[in-house]
Amino acid sequence: MNRFEVIKFSTPDELAHEVAKLWLQELAQSASAKRPHFVALSGGRITLRFFAEVIRQSFAFQFSWRDVHFFWADERCVPPSDPESSYGAAHAHFFQPLGLAAEQIHRIRGEWPPQQAAVQAETEITRFAPRDAAGQPVFDWVFLGMGEDGHVASLFPRETEAERANPAIYRVVENSPKPPPIRVTLGYPVIGAAKQVWVLASGTGKEAALQESLAPTGRTPLAHVLQQRAHTRVFTDIPTV
């Protein structure tokens, strides 16, 4: 069995539309279980398109959002009012339009000292989510984008094996090659423990990174995610795959 499934689309709009529909279908099907669902979001342009599609299509699905709790795959260490804040974008373009209650939203405190923000974020997810045998909290979904260098969340290339194996649920990144340089991110072990990881790989200039990520010997952060998991879905409009 392949460790990942690649689902191709012609345009970013088509990608966002179909991923939103699939996610809403799965949420609606699982709503009968009447248990909390834990979702980690990422930032980026394709995520904003995805948010818009979820809002547009959500009225066709008869389920309540009250059992869905939102966390973050990563956050920039900036205040929530900063244009770089992933929470700020989600609040304006997703949570407010859906009318989600504040207790369902568990943001990373980007305005706090980074290590304190990471500890708080780790405390928050461990209050809610069940843990696996290794002690990692189990997300129902982790949504990831992919950068031009193959990075996911705020996990960038050039990390050592020891850094990749760091068991911290959330950790601080102090030298991000993309601004702002200081971030808080989920680590590889907790991404690996998630029930589902959906990668939305979209945009120009990413062909080489995606090809390497999908190769058996790929060395990008996305490649490492794919190699450590039993199954991951990669949704992409990148034409050379």
Residue 173: count other Cβ atoms within 10 Å of its Cβ. 22
pLDDT confidence of 34, banded at 50, 70, 90?
Answer: confident
Tell me, what's the pLDDT at 40?
Answer: 98
Structure tokens belonging to residue 32: 């009968």
Going along the chain from its start, the domains and CATH numbers come out as 4-12+37-43+69-236 (3.40.50.1360)
Q: Distances from the Cα of 16 to the Cαs of 13, 48, 150, 194, 219, in angstroms? A: 5, 9, 20, 21, 27
pLDDT tens profile 179-217 = 999 999 999 999 999 999 999 999 999 999 999 999 999
Tell me, what's the pLDDT at 61?
Answer: 85
> What's the order of all strands across the beta sheet hosting 183-186?
74-76, 183-186, 170-173
pLDDT tens profile 147-174 = 999 999 999 998 988 999 999 999 999 9
